Amino acid sequence: MTTLDRDALFIGGAWTKPATDAVLEVVSPHSEEVVARVPEGSVADIDAAVAAARTAFDEGPWPRMSPAERIAIVQNLSGLYAARLEEMASVITTEMGSPISFSSLAQAPAPWMQIESFLGIAREFPWEATRPGALGGDVLVRHEPVGVVAAIPPWNVPQFTVISKVVPALLAGCTVVVKPAPESPLDCYLLAEMITEAGVPEGVVSIVAGGREVGEHLVRHPGVDKVAFTGSTAAGRRIGAICGEQLKRVSLELGGKSAAIVLDDADLGSVVEGMKFLAVMNSGQACVAQTRVLVSRDRHDEVAAALAEGIGAMRVGDPADPASEIGPMVARRQQERVNGYIEIGRSEGATLLTGGTGRPDGLGSGWYVRPTVFAGVDNRMRIAQEEIFGPVVSVIPYTDVDDAIRIANDSDYGLAGTVWTADSDAGVDVARRVRAGTYGVNTYTMDFAAPFGGFKASGLGREFGPEGLAQYTELKSVYLSAPAM
């Protein structure tokens, strides 16, 4: 056994022998060698986890605690999390190949920042409020926990997406079953240890890693009241259909094909530096990546050449090396998918300025892709319409601002976007006209006090902010006095 190997599942707050001998092998995307072996959860393990969560919700203390009592326990979790940020960053880099620079900047600290943000929101949240009724009597409006939550995160930002579901669910009084992706189960073992140490009661949280079969079983399970999913739009459609059949609550944070609109007065250096992070963050494996860069025809060649120079010079290499800016794809299938799209772009007639298929120089192993920039892209091309999830950027010309907004909106997705300009008022005007759930003017970030989510095929519901906490509650109206007749 390596130091990362595990032999138990976290079910109902206890380390439990799995129902089968099936094993998940966690493979390093850099070395292509097995770095850990952990139990692969089965349908029986999911049944046990849901049963524990159901009992804890229906009969246990957690939903019946005051918000202040739950806040105190989650505050314990926050302190424990803060003390293990470096360890968490290292584990995520090991299991899914995120550059350690990005893991140390975002993969580990951002989940802790979420916890702190949700704690502040929970302290001010209107768990109960009395309002005058329209007929003269008073009404007590309560936010009550939605019940047992199935939380299904992806592999690309595993803790970021786990915490965005588990923490608001806990603060609302829900119980939770987490199904991590099979590529990235290791970080959730650290979380399980912290949950136990924080004092979360027995049965409230279970973590069972597994593949699609156990994921669908969890979604369909009659003991689950709500599903919270982050992942591909195709999987989201499937989950949404199942939840629709069962009238089960669901929130879906799905894919994106975000556009960065560069206005003619934008500073070229700022655009290049911004896109070096925003277009290929996490090696391009990010749903909010600004992979379409829209530039006026007058500046197209200038901006495209600068982007190709800046992105093409980014250092590709071992994700454990702090100097690496782009790491490997999470799996061979993902490497093959991204390289396939690069070939599609060439066959569609886009101009390849830098990158292309083939292993980056100096790397003898690993699922790496060369950072790639295409110019002269038509928005109808597949590389402009389909989510590639790798370090591939398309530069698309537009005629005027109205045309840029039309192109930005000509997408099945609507998750994020940016505009780059010296005129902030003009930037805000563009932001108002683009149909995306989050938007930035000369920047892009996720502020955990504000709702995050998408329009169109980018999902349903919102995470973060009071709106994200409210996703884990049901509203109840209690009529306190008879209206005047």
Backbone phi, then psi, for 26, in 5-degree steps?
-90, 120
Reading the block at residue 429, the tokens are 């005007």
User: Which residue type occupies 292?
Assistant: R
Single out the catalytic residue among 243, 287, 325, 463: 287
The residue annotated as part of the active site, out of 40, 95, 183, 253, is 253
Active-site residue, 287 included: yes
Task: Catalogue the active-site residues.
Answer: 253, 287
